[in-house]
Amino acid sequence: MKINGFAAFRAGADLEPFSFDRRALRSNDVEMEILYCGVCHSDLHQARNDWSDWSPTVYPVVPGHEIVGRVTAVGESVTRHRVGDAVAVGCMVDSCMVCDQCRKGEEIFCRSGMTATYNGSDRVTGDNTYGGYSKQLVVREEFVLSVPDGLDLSRAAPLLCAGITTYSPLRTWNVGPGSRVGVVGLGGLGHMAVKLAVAMGAVVTVISRDEKKRADALALGADELLVSSDEAAMKIKASAFDLIIDTVPVKHDVMPYMSLLDINGTLVMVGQIGALESVASTPLVFGRRRIAGSPIGGIAQTQEMLNFCARKNILPDCELIPMQQINHAFERMERSDVRYRFVIDMASLPANN
Ligand SMILES: [Zn+2]
Ligand SMILES: [Zn+2]
């Protein structure tokens, strides 16, 4: 059976229809029908080979790593999932499972490298992995998450990347009631950071160059908006944050945020990957402040995040699109013209043939 999906065939090309084979079910595999797939900035970067220096794109590339669907078949040794279950797959589909990091549940840091959901290399066959911009997926059971009852399937998909990418640093830095959290950037990641930090009881401030974001920030549950171009306001907020999550996806100056951190405070980068603008060590040394980075979380933490979101009724704000509008959606995403995440309705793709 050929699986219907969408792929980019070279850098700079639009995505277009692509039919391909999924592997036959191994004994520990789960087969799922994909119902929804979120559209992440990574999808656009990988499709365009923007990361040629550290993650060169293998074409054709089928992006998509925010995947929600239902189990349609399981291998004979599968115990975690049953046909009909609502399930999800995020950015990883495999890892070695035996190194120290995998055994700690930190598969993302697997010593031999986790297998990415797309543009990865299958650990058994070496074949290029194809992601969620398609009708069907086959993944080993340990990397398939359960979607708890009560989470709206049509909105849950972005939790698998944007959600866990912001949940993980909030947990790493022990955010809880009274924590003072800043969020820089109010896109797919930023809006999830606000919702999650608010649900954990933190006092949350959105930090933006744009005064016009105030209503949006407050609507998402933030306590206030700090306009970073307002020097007086920035001065008042000196040393006022325990943690700042920086979700801006492009190269930018992080120095204005350093003085906002309290002693021992951390600025954690989750959006942009690559060179920073120049950084002075002064605020780091005199305040034991840190600049850190954080990726997605491990599988156990991803399940914890899904359960947390179901319990607290947290869902991304999504705009549902048909698969055929993906190229337009990429253009709009580049202009930050989306509140706050596109989700592809896979019912728009014809059945496999
Ligand atoms: Zn992503
Ligand atoms: Zn490992």
Question: From the CA of 42, which ligand is nearest?
Answer: 1
pLDDT in tens, 94-106: 999 999 999 999 9
Question: From the CA of 64, which ligand is nearest?
Answer: 1
Question: From the CA of 271, which ligand is nearest?
Answer: 1
For position 87, what pLDDT does the model report? 98
Which string of DSSP letters, residue by residue, matches 258-319? HTTEEEEEEEEE-S--SPPSP--SHHHHTTT-EEEE-----HHHHHHHHHHHHHHT----EE
pLDDT in tens, 164-177: 999 999 999 999 99
Average pLDDT over residues 253-273: 95
For position 277, what pLDDT does the model report? 87
Residues 6+ apart with CB under 8 A from 31: 22, 25, 71, 72, 73, 74, 136, 137, 138
Measure CA 187 to chain center. Answer: 12
CA of 63 to the centre of ligand 1 (A): 10
- Rounded to the nearest integer, the mean pLDDT of the chain is 96
HSE-up of residue 300 (Cα within 13 Å, Cβ side): 9
CA of 18 to the centre of ligand 2 (A): 32
**What is the model's pTM?**
0.96
Question: pLDDT at residue 92 above 90?
Answer: yes
For position 273, what pLDDT does the model report? 84
Helical residues (DSSP H) of 83-143, grouped into ranges:
100-103
In the chain the domains, ranked by start, together with CATH numbers, are 3-158+316-348 (3.90.180.10), 163-293 (3.40.50.720)
